[in-house]
């Protein structure tokens, strides 16, 4: 129920706050009963800025989002990628915020931040302890009203390079990365706002200049084209007082109108194809035009996508994947502000042509028409959607993001309940109606993504040519723009002080030990009516450590535990779970087998019955085994097409050796998985379950006394000893060497640099302190490595380093994707930074930054149920004292420069690092040979290409 308050023009909302009387309350929404609603108050300032405030004092956290109604859809032909490029520029300082200080200020405040751009909007957001709200508003207002004088040609060039690297990392250097670009070019007519990707074209990025950037800011970044949404531990009165102070004087920008809807019309089946340098398997996509977002058919299209191609009950899974005709097959409905797409995608098994997939897809749709839509289809769709909405309300950031999007695109922040009504009202007839309206007998775009040498597998010859005739560019309104700054009665150059420190409470928890060896820990969380439950049994991939001949057995075994049981098929379990809005999954880590459950409280009993079925009554049949085994074997080939995956796999082999369990993928190898039989799966299960050492973590809207009886079925676990093997010691690194894997024509070089340490996980010892030491080297955006390689040199989209550790081992690793041409230079800079840190130590300013950043982030650590589960699960897993966070805070407060410097000298060993570079040998080897390191060439399996090497 929405209570809406409208005010007469000129009416004052608040009195008693200087400069506050001009903010107009548009509406106020309150929650009544058990309705699904996000309460808020909505205001508008005279300059057009829309302000939404959601008050929630459950955690001492505030999330702030500024959404500008501008994305790549408002770009000009020939200047693609500019909206996203501009997003990067917004972090480069303004009149009162120095270069590289935006990230530093937020991070030092204990917060997190980012920005994102899509076709239709750009948003900037921060989550911070609630005493930092004023500072965040000051930051956002400064770049909204005071950006352009701080823009320099140098900053412009650096961020242009960074965006190019982002494109290389996410589009040009990954399998199927260009698929979306091919779809956009061939699906939409020339000049359509969606006919290019948000990331843009490299040649367009090279074409734009600083003046283009300034005009873009002046045209689209006015307060009247923005929605400022604040949620969390704040009152509307205080929020509006601060918003009026920092944003109220910013001049209104040019008028911005909503764009007309532009759904394309396909006059015939279109065919397009391209050769993918990184793909190992061909990919077929079929795309149909549908409707824009919030259209009345939105829910029915989403249900159609689920019935046709999502989950193991879907038509495509049953017709193509389960019959082993396709490796993957799915369907999706994606709606944006101006148009929508319904998409099918199919990856065939090796040797199958994409043309055959075209016909198999048509046959599957024919079978769907005979099958129709069932009552079960509708029930599980509605149950899943309700659960999805509820889970999205766990965090204040989730609620704020919803409010901001609803206001930006629907003009109504209170769309949550409306959408739920629409989705709950979907009928079988609705789903068949949209199938007939948008899919059956309709023209589609058919795209073939083809690996090298497999061009013969094409679906159809390219038959579409982009027609530029008749296109007339719209008037974007760039003429006569003027930069007018706000005039204030206060000094904006002064960074606002922190508010009073919020009281951060570590989640209260309870513990229970059962006589059979099961340990249970739980925390009550009443914010939303859900329960998260995990059951961890000792075991995992480490059980294979002493015999790698069938490595991957545990992984394949847990995968098989998600299949049929003795009483239900996997499809029947999936239908029940989706109808309940629940999930039950089985997977393994290095040293555990984990059963993970999520459920609404009202459906917990029924969900736990299905968990019990999965745990105690799996039915391992040959067909499921053959299909899953075949998919694992094909996944090895697929991973060999991804430079980042190659780097991770080979680096593990270099660090630990091929005969070490940590030098072997948890999925095994092609040889070891080929050797696994169905009998091995049954033997794995027969020896996998025990009650001894089992750890159960429960978080949710349920009390200890209510949940413990529901877990009584765990008493059926056998009380037997399962001993996780002690791992062999990793080989020592005698000197720094470069290992090189050749990926021809790779746009970037994947760096993996580091070594295996003796630092096992601890919460308050040297491992924890080493993490503090690394923070300013490579653990934060403003770390030395990231500032050098990304912000100063523009060679990478991101660079990072860190220590990781478990109960038996640990390592230090630097990783980044570096522009290929800068590989040798980046290697020099990397070693310079690490050696400089070892020899010169941390600065006083860096020490203060680290203490503030880590010391103040506790407010963000316990907000959601998953976060609470992680916290108390850590206590149980590592037998930590309940006050370990308090002990950590004491360490942070008291650690000295001398201690940090000593840790750097002890644990950073640049003369004894393994260095792995995965990239284009022809481009990078000549430069690397000048650096003086021994270079050993490996193949993508980690085998020496030459006789020398390890």
Q: Quick one: 376 and 299 in the same domain? A: yes
Q: Quick one: 645 and 767 in the same domain? A: no
In whole angstroms, how far apart are CA 780 and each of 97, 602, 798, 846?
A: 19, 41, 10, 11
CA distance linking residue 160 with residue 208, whole number of Å = 10
Q: Is residue 479 exposed (0-12), middle (13-18) or buried (19+ Cβ within 10 Å)?
A: exposed
Q: Quick one: 239 and 91 in the same domain? A: yes
Element (H, E) at 342: strand 340-348
Q: Quick one: 864 and 786 in the same domain? A: yes
Would you state the structure tokens that stand for residue 566, as one six-digit string?
A: 């003795």
CA distance linking residue 401 with residue 230, whole number of Å = 10
SS3 per-residue string spanning 821-881: HHHHHHHHHHHHHHHHHHHHCCCHHHHHHHHHHHHCHHHHCCCCHHHHHHHHHHHHHCCCC
Q: Quick one: 640 and 749 in the same domain? A: no
The verdict on pTM exceeding 0.85 is: yes
Which positions of the chain have pLDDT values less than 50?
A: 1-21, 948-950
Q: What's the total number of domains in the chain?
A: 4
In which residue are the tokens 């989550």 written?
127
Its sign, for the CA torsion 9, 15, 19, 24, is: negative
Burial code (b: 16+ CB inside 10 Å, e: under 16) for 911-947 equals eebbbbbbbbbebbbeebeeeebebbbbebebeeeee
Find the domain containing 117 and state its range: 24-247
Would you state the structure tokens that stand for residue 661, as one six-digit string?
A: 């369990």
Query: Regarding beta strands 510-513 and 519-524, do their DSSP bridges make them parallel or antiparallel, or are they unpaired?
Result: antiparallel
| 614: in domain | yes
* Whether 144 contacts 250, CB under 8 Å: yes
| 485: in domain | no
**553-560 vs 622-639: helix axis angle to the nearest 10?**
130
CA distance linking residue 580 with residue 575, whole number of Å = 9
Element (H, E) at 137: helix 133-145
First to last CA, the chain: 69
Q: What counts of helices (H) and strands (E) characterise the chain?
A: 31, 24
Q: Quick one: 698 and 765 in the same domain? A: no
The CATH number of the domain holding residue 378 is 3.30.830.10
CA distance linking residue 243 with residue 491, whole number of Å = 15
- Alpha helix stretches (DSSP H) within 458-603: 553-560, 570-580
Q: Which of 247, 281, 313 is the last residue of a domain?
A: 247
Q: Quick one: 367 and 230 in the same domain? A: no
Q: Quick one: 794 and 917 in the same domain? A: yes
| 477: in domain | no
Residues forming a β-bridge with 818: 749, 796
| 701: in domain | yes
Under DSSP, the state recorded for 687 is T
| 945: in domain | no
Q: Which of 216, 247, 278 is the last residue of a domain?
A: 247
CA distance linking residue 184 with residue 472, whole number of Å = 19
Specify the pLDDT at position 947.
52
Among candidates 947, 940, 922, 949, which has minimal Cα distance to 651? Answer: 940
Q: Quick one: 534 and 614 in the same domain? A: yes
> Which tens digit of pLDDT belongs to each residue from 189-242?
999 999 999 999 999 988 888 888 899 999 999 999 999 999 999 999 999 999
E strand map for 190-311: 226-232, 270-276, 283-289
CA distance linking residue 926 with residue 715, whole number of Å = 64
Query: Regarding beta strands 122-129 and 112-117, do their DSSP bridges make them parallel or antiparallel, or are they unpaired?
Result: antiparallel
Q: Quick one: 797 and 888 in the same domain? A: yes
| 284: in domain | yes
* Whether 689 contacts 718, CB under 8 Å: yes
Q: Quick one: 181 and 307 in the same domain? A: no
Q: Could you tell me how far CA 603 lies from the centroid of its own chain?
A: 28
Q: Quick one: 165 and 299 in the same domain? A: no
| 504: in domain | no
Would you state the structure tokens that stand for residue 775, as one six-digit string?
A: 């923070």
| 74: in domain | yes
Its sign, for the CA torsion 475, 478, 480, 484, is: positive
Altogether, the residues listed in the chain come to a count of 950
Element (H, E) at 918: strand 914-919
Arithmetic mean of pLDDT over the chain: 93
Give the contacts of 740 (CB within 8 A, at least 6 positions apart).
916, 917, 918, 919, 921, 924, 925, 928, 935, 936, 937, 938
* Whether 905 contacts 728, CB under 8 Å: no
In whole angstroms, how far apart are CA 673 and each of 241, 557, 666, 683, 688?
A: 63, 11, 11, 15, 19
């Amino acid at each position: 129920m929405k209570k809406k308050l409208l005010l007469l023009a000129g009416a004052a909302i608040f009195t008693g706050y200087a400069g506050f009387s001009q903010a107009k309350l548009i509406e106020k929404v309150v929650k009544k009963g058990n309705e699904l609603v996000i309460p808020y108050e909505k205001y508008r300032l005279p300059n057009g800025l829309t302000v939404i405030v959601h008050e929630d004092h459950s955690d001492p956290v505030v999330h702030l989002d500024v959404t500008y109604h501008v994305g790549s859809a408002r770009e000009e032909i020939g200047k693609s990628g500019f909206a996203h490029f501009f997003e990067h520029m917004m972090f480069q300082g303004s009149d009162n915020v120095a270069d590289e200080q935006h990230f530093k200020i937020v991070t030092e405040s204990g917060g997190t931040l980012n920005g994102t751009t899509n076709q239709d909007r750009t948003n900037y957001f921060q989550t911070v302890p609630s005493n930092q709200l004023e500072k965040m508003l000051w930051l956002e207002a400064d770049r909204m009203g005071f950006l352009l004088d701080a823009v320099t040609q140098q900053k412009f060039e650096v961020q242009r390079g960074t965006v190019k690297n982002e494109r290389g990392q996410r589009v040009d250097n990954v399998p199927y990365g260009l698929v979306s670009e091919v779809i956009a070019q061939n699906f939409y007519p020339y000049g359509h706002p969606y006919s290019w990707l948000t990331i843009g074209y490299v040649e367009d990025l090279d074409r734009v200049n600083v003046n283009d950037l300034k005009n873009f800011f002046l045209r689209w970044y006015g307060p009247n084209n923005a929605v400022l949404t604040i949620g969390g531990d704040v009152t509307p009165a205080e929020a509006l007082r601060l918003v009026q102070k920092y944003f109220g004087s910013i001049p209104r920008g040019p008028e911005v109108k909503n764009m007309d809807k532009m759904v394309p019309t396909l006059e015939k089946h279109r065919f397009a194809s391209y050769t993918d340098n990184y793909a190992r398997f061909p990919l077929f996509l079929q795309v149909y035009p549908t409707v824009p977002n919030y259209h009345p058919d939105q829910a029915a299209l989403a249900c159609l996508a689920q019935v046709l191609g999502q989950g193991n009950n879907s038509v495509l899974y049953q017709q193509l994947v389960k019959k082993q005709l396709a490796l993957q097959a799915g369907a999706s409905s994606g709606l944006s502000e101006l148009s929508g797409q319904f998409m099918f995608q199919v990856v065939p098994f090796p040797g199958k042509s994409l043309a055959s997939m075209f016909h198999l897809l048509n046959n599957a749709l024919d079978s769907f028409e005979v099958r129709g839509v069932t009552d079960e289809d509708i029930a599980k769709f509605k149950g899943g959607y309700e659960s999805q909405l509820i889970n999205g309300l766990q965090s204040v950031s989730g609620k704020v993001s919803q409010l901001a999007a609803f206001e930006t695109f629907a003009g109504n922040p209170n769309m949550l309940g409306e959408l739920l009504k629409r989705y709950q009202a979907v009928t079988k007839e609705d789903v068949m109606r949209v199938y007939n309206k948008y899919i059956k007998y309709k023209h589609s775009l058919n795209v073939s993504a083809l690996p090298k040498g497999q061009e013969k597998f094409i679906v159809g010859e390219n038959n579409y040519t982009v027609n530029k005739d008749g296109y007339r560019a719209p008037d974007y309104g760039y003429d006569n723009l003027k930069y007018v700054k706000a005039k204030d009665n206060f000094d904006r150059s002064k960074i606002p002080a922190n508010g009073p420190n919020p009281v951060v409470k570590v989640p209260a928890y309870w513990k229970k030990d059962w006589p059979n060896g099961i340990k249970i820990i739980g925390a009550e969380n009443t914010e939303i009516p859900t329960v998260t439950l995990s059951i961890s049994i000792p075991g995992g991939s480490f059980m294979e450590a002493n015999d790698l001949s069938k490595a991957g057995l545990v992984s394949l075994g847990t995968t098989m535990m998600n299949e049929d049981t003795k009483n239900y098929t996997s499809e029947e379990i999936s239908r029940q779970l989706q109808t309940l809005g629940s999930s039950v999954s089985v997977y393994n880590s290095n040293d555990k087998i984990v059963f993970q459950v999520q459920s609404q409280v009202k459906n917990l009993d029924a969900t736990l019955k299905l968990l019990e079925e999965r745990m105690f009554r799996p039915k391992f049949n040959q067909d499921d085994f053959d299909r899953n085994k075949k998919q694992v074997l094909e996944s090895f080939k697929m991973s060999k097409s991804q430079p980042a995956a190659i780097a991770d796999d080979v680096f593990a082999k270099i660090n630990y050796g091929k005969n070490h369990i940590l030098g072997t993928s948890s999925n095994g190898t092609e040889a070891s998985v080929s050797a696994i039989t169905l009998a091995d799966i049954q033997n794995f299960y027969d020896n996998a379950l025990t009650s001894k050492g089992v750890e159960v973590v429960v978080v949710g809207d349920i009390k200890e006394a209510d949940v413990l009886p529901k877990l009584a079925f765990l008493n059926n676990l056998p009380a037997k000893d399962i001993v996780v093997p002690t791992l062999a010691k990793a080989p020592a690194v005698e000197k720094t060497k470069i290992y090189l894997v050749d990926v021809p024509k790779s746009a970037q070089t994947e760096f993996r640099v580091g070594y295996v340490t003796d630092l096992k996980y601890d919460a308050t010892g040297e491992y924890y302190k080493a993490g503090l030491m690394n923070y300013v080297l490579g653990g934060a955006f403003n770390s030395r490595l990231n500032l050098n390689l990304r912000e100063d040199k523009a060679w990478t989209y991101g660079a990072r380093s860190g220590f990781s550790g478990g109960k038996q081992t640990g390592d230090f690793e630097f990783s980044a994707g570096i522009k290929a041409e800068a590989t040798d230079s980046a290697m020099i800079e990397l070693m310079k930074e690490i050696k400089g840190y070892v020899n010169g130590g941390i600065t006083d300013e860096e020490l203060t930054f680290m203490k503030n950043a880590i010391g103040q982030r506790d407010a963000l650590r316990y907000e959601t149920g998953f976060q609470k589960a992680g916290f108390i699960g850590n206590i149980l897993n590592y037998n930590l004292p309940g006050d370990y966070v308090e002990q950590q805070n004491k360490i942070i407060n008291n650690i000295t420069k001398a201690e940090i410097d000593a840790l750097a000298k002890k644990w950073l060993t640049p003369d004894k690092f393994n260095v792995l570079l995965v990239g284009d040998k022809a481009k990078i080897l000549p430069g690397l040979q000048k650096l003086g390191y021994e270079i050993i060439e490996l193949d993508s399996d980690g085998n020496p290409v030459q006789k020398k090497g390890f």
